């Protein structure tokens, strides 16, 4: 009778992980020293204000009467019942949509123009960078004189009147005040968007475009089947940067040029937050409105992310 013996136990564990070397530990400490200051600044200037603003939105606080008082969801109940809030949200969405779309279209066309070599390309490349050197506040002062009312006063009104057209009352018209602010913001957003598109265009090999030209593809077909696939990944980044520019930069323009008038036609959400916080002293309510703005921007970013996936397909 044969005796059956159990096989010897074999360890299934793999080889032991190597201990971190002295060089890797030194690299880790160096990386921590380099990242630490930026992480500290991000925490102090971004994380702490967001958490503090969220906590403040559950309070009511008049800065002249001591400490904040907890009121729970009262500010949010008031926000949903305030018609001016939703008018400001609608104005903000109009301002973003009617500004971001022209920014993308014009900057792509301008990038395609300066990507070619022609006689005055250096002059064009210098001129389109001028808005990058100006702040929103300085641009508002300059454009105030461009939008001065009456033919012969504002530069834009003078040019339009030369064609026999009566120019609108730009900053005092309920129909034209918001488009006028959009024109300024598009002008300010063009340099960054154009540079990004120009970088994407220069990654397209010249040989591909030359081959398409030899095969008989015209400018429109080259733009559709070669240029657009080569730059569409950059469109989402341009849209995100323009979105942040239009969301935050609208405050300077509205505060200097229109103060939210006429009849709240240019009162964006960021300006309404400022009015409630610093004009009326409703800091808790302004904090709740800030949470709404963060949610609004976050929702638009989610939409842009989904759009990016569709474009990449």
Q: How far is CA 3 from the centre of its chain?
A: 79
Give the residue among 286, 247, 252 at the shortest CA–CA distance from 92.
Answer: 247
Is residue 17 domain-resident?
A: no
Is residue 31 domain-resident?
A: no
User: Cβ distance 301 to 125 under 8 Å?
Assistant: no
Q: List the CATH number of the domain containing 204.
A: 1.10.3720.10
Q: Which domain holds residue 123?
A: 89-312
Residue count of the chain, please give it: 313
Domain total in the chain: 1
Q: Apex CA 164: angle with CA 159 and CA 168, to 5°? A: 65
Is residue 7 domain-resident?
A: no
Is residue 109 domain-resident?
A: yes
Is residue 50 domain-resident?
A: no
Copy the structure tokens of residue 252: 């300077």
pLDDT tens for the chain, 313 residues long, are 455 555 555 555 555 555 556 677 777 788 888 888 889 999 999 899 889 989 999 998 876 667 788 999 999 999 999 999 999 999 999 999 999 999 999 999 888 888 877 777 777 777 778 888 888 888 888 888 888 765 556 788 888 888 888 888 888 888 899 999 999 999 999 999 999 999 898 888 888 888 888 888 887 888 888 888 888 888 888 998 998 888 877 888 999 999 998 889 999 999 999 999 888 888 999 999 999 999 999 999 898 888 878 776 6
Is residue 82 domain-resident?
A: no
- On the 0-12 / 13-18 / 19+ scale of CB atoms within 10 A, 165 is exposed
Is residue 84 domain-resident?
A: no
pTM: 0.81
Looking at residue 103, its pLDDT comes to 93
Is residue 93 domain-resident?
A: yes
User: Cβ distance 184 to 171 under 8 Å?
Assistant: no
């Amino acid at each position: 009778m044969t005796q059956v013996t159990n096989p010897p136990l074999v360890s299934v564990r793999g080889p032991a992980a190597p201990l971190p070397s002295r060089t890797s530990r030194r690299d880790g400490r160096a990386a921590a020293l380099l990242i630490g200051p930026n992480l500290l600044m991000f925490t102090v200037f971004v994380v702490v204000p967001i958490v503090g603003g969220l906590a403040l939105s559950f309070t009511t606080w008049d800065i002249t009467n001591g400490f904040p008082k907890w009121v729970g969801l009262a500010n949010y109940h008031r926000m949903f019942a305030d018609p001016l809030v939703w008018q400001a949200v609608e104005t903000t969405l109009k301002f973003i949509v009617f500004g971001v779309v022209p920014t993308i279209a014009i900057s792509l066309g301008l990038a395609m123009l300066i990507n070619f070599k022609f006689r005055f390309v250096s002059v064009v490349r210098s001129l389109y960078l001028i808005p990058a050197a100006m702040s929103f506040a300085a641009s508002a002062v300059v454009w105030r004189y461009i939008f001065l009312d009456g033919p012969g006063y504002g530069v834009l009104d003078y040019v339009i009147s030369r064609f026999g057209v009566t120019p609108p009352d730009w900053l005092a018209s309920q129909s034209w005040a918001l488009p006028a602010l959009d024109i300024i913001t598009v002008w300010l957003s063009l340099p960054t968007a154009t540079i990004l598109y120009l970088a994407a265009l220069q990654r397209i090999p010249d040989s591909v475009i030359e081959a398409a030209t030899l095969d008989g593809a015209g400018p429109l077909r080259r733009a559709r089947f070669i240029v657009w696939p080569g730059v569409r990944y950059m469109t989402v980044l341009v849209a995100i940067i323009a979105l942040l520019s239009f969301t935050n930069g609208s405050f300077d323009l509205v505060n200097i040029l229109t103060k939210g008038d006429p009849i709240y036609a240019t009162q964006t959400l960021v300006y309404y937050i400022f009015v409630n916080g610093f004009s009326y002293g409703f800091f808790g309510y302004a904090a709740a409105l800030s949470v709404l703005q963060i949610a609004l921007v976050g929702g638009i970013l989610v939409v842009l992310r989904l759009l990016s996936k569709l474009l990449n397909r």
